[in-house]
Structures are given as structure tokens and as C-alpha cells.
Amino acid sequence: MAVCDVTSDPVLHPALSERFSPVGFRPDVVMTHEHVDVLLEAARLAPSAGNSQPWGFVVGRRGDAVHERLVRHLARSSSAWAPPASTLVANLTQVGVEDAPDWEYSEFSRYDLGQAVAHMCVQALALGFDSHQFRAFDREGVSAEFGVPAHIEVVSMTAFGVADHGPGEVSSPGTSRERRSRGAITWAREVGERS
């Protein structure tokens, strides 16, 4: 892969710089099965510790039975904006060993899931779909609803669709878009000669 020259003011790829978590989705936008396949493929190809691939997904397209079963477990906050999204995905990861759920499967299982979900969200933006990851739902409820066994944890959900507002236009509790500075997140780095 070629290395690009960059400007002194960092410019990100649009799939990163244009990502935001909408709190309103267009209810008329349909995500096809082929779109969903592309998102699952993006997750499938994510790196993971020892290639353990601990992730799993429950996918509901608006109007189908899985979507309806996921919607039942939304918290009051997320039920205000998530149901009209084109697709809801519950994000699962294997935390325990199948026959001994108390034994840790991989110390990186949640890390790996997060990375797979990030891949899905970036791929979604490349297809023209926005995404909003969230915790505001009943994890145990989703687990019981879909018969998820004890060694697999329901961690988060993602709503995919097309936003009905722009970034920062609608505020929602707990969804600040403020970021810590690059300096604040850099524990150690030598910046003498640049480049």
C-alpha cells in the first residue's frame, strides 16, 4: 500500500470524519440483505487476538421479526430514536469457554468485538449509511430473547440507517461530541523534527 503525504493539519478519511451518532433516522430508508451482508463481511474480516473471532451479531431489518424482538428490549431513551433506523444489530462476544462459562475465552473478546463493530460502522458510511452504537437496552432481555448461552455476552447494539439531521444539530443526553485534545490522549511521544 502506498504511503500518502499528509498536511500539517490532520485530514481524516471521510468515513471517519463524517461519522456521527444520529438521534433521528429516516424511516423510509431500507437496507437490503446485500447491504447487511457487506456489513457482516466487514466485521468478519476484522483482526482479533489469535484470530479468535469472538464476535456474533443479531440482525433485525425494520419490519422483520428479529427487529421487532430487538425493539422490545430498548430502553426508554433509545426507543425514542432507534426503531426507525433501517437495521438494528445486537453485538455479542464470546467471553467464556462453551462447557465452562466461568473460564475466560480470550482476554481481548470485548476489544475484538469493538473493533469488528468499528469496521461495520466505517463500511456502513462508505455505503452511505450512518450508525449509532448504544448501550441503552436490556442486555439480559436480549440474551434471553435469542437464547444466547452463558459463555456469550450481549455487549451493545448498533442502529444503522440514514440520519434525518446533521452532526451536532440535535442534542441528546449523554451524547456529547466534545473530544479530548490530541495532547491529552498521548501519554508519550517525541515531537522534535516533524516528519
Ligand X SMILES: Cc1cc2nc3c(=O)[nH]c(=O)nc-3n(C[C@H](O)[C@H](O)[C@H](O)COP(=O)(O)O)c2cc1C
Smallest gap from Cβ 135 to ligand X, in A, equals: 4
Smallest gap from Cβ 100 to ligand X, in A, equals: 27
Phi, psi of 20 (to 5 degrees): -155, 165
Residue pair 108/52 in contact by the 8 Å Cβ criterion: yes
- Contact between 52 and ligand X per CB under 6 A: no
Residue list 66-95, contact with ligand X (CB under 6 A): 78
Using CB under 6 A, which of the segments 25-33, 45-53, 170-178, 185-193 binds ligand X? 170-178
Up-side HSE of residue 186: CA atoms within 13 Å toward CB? Answer: 7
Size of the residue set binding ligand X (CB under 6 A): 13
| Between 148 and 157, CB nearer to ligand X | 157
User: Do the strands 130-134 and 152-161 form a parallel or antiparallel pair, or are they unpaired?
Assistant: antiparallel
| Between 87 and 156, CB nearer to ligand X | 156
- Contact between 21 and ligand X per CB under 6 A: yes
- Contact between 171 and ligand X per CB under 6 A: no
Q: How far is CA 62 from CA 23, 37, 41, 56, 65, in A?
A: 16, 16, 20, 20, 9
- Return the residue of 38, 136, 162, 170 that touches ligand X, per CB under 6 A: 136
- Contact between 135 and ligand X per CB under 6 A: yes
Smallest gap from Cβ 3 to ligand X, in A, equals: 28
- Return the residue of 86, 134, 161, 163 that touches ligand X, per CB under 6 A: 134
| Between 20 and 57, CB nearer to ligand X | 20
Residue pair 138/73 in contact by the 8 Å Cβ criterion: yes
- Contact between 170 and ligand X per CB under 6 A: no
Residue pair 130/163 in contact by the 8 Å Cβ criterion: yes
Strand locations in the chain (E): 55-61, 87-94, 96-97, 100-104, 130-134, 152-161
Q: How far is CA 175 from CA 41, 70, 137, 144, 188, in A?
A: 28, 22, 16, 28, 29
The footprint of ligand X (CB under 6 A) covers 20-21, 78, 133-136, 156, 172, 174-177
